[in-house]
Amino acid sequence: MCGICGVFQTNSSLSMQDLKNSVLYMMAQMARRGPDDEGLYNDESCALGFRRLSILDLTPTGHQPMLSQGGRYVLVFNGELYNFRDLRANFEKRGVKFRSTGDAEVALYALAEWGTSALESFNGMYGLAFYDTVEKSLLLARDHAGIKPLYYVQTSQGLVFASQYNQVIQHPWAKD
- Catalytic residues, by residue number, are 2
Cβ(49)–Cβ(39) under 8 Å? yes
Question: What's the sign of the alpha-carbon dihedral 63, 68, 74, 78?
Answer: negative
* Cα angle 35-51-69, degrees, rounded to a multiple of 5: 125
CA distance 117 to 43: 26
Strand order in the sheet with 124-132: 66-67, 73-81, 124-132, 137-142
Q: Which residues contact 121 (CB under 8 A, 6 or more apart)?
A: 83, 87, 110, 114
Concatenate the DSSP letters of all residues of 82-103 into one string: TTHHHHHHHHHHTT---S-SSH
